């Protein structure tokens, strides 16, 4: 069975950092692009970052560009989201997503507040 287990969320002060992890199983991880999405209460779910399965190229939402980095370790079947210089507006539930297969993780809460 397909599993996507997010971890690394929590509460942090503005300017702080967190690293989210998504441990995947049940499908050929290295063959698929991966994304991180986020959703704040009352707002639409938005695409934060994507990493491809082939070239490993990355894309980011303008709101996080220069602060967040998506990466993957195919040997560990894990995708990461390094989040630096966090802002209150980054507060949301963050979801791991498998492109094409359309698998979603359960989400992990990130709260940025002073």
The structure tokens 């709260």 sit at 111
User: Which of 105, 104, 63 lies closest to 85, judged by CA?
Assistant: 63
Length of the chain: 114
Beta bridge partners of 6: 22
Query: What is the pLDDT averaged over residues 69-95?
Result: 97
Backbone torsions φ then ψ of 5, nearest 5 degrees: -115, 110
pLDDT band at 65 (very low <50, low <70, confident <90, very high): very high
pLDDT in tens, 85-98: 999 999 999 999 99
């Amino acid at each position: 069975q397909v599993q996507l287990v997010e971890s690394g969320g929590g509460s942090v002060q503005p300017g702080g950092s967190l690293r989210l992890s998504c441990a995947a199983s049940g499908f050929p991880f290295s063959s698929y692009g991966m994304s991180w999405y986020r959703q704040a209460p009352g707002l639409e779910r938005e695409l934060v970052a994507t990493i491809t399965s082939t070239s490993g190229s990355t894309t980011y939402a303008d709101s996080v560009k220069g602060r967040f980095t998506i990466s993957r370790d195919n040997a560990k079947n894990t995708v990461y989201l390094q989040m630096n210089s966090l802002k209150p507006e980054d507060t949301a539930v963050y979801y791991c997503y498998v492109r094409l297969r359309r698998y979603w993780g359960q989400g992990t809460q990130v709260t940025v507040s002073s």
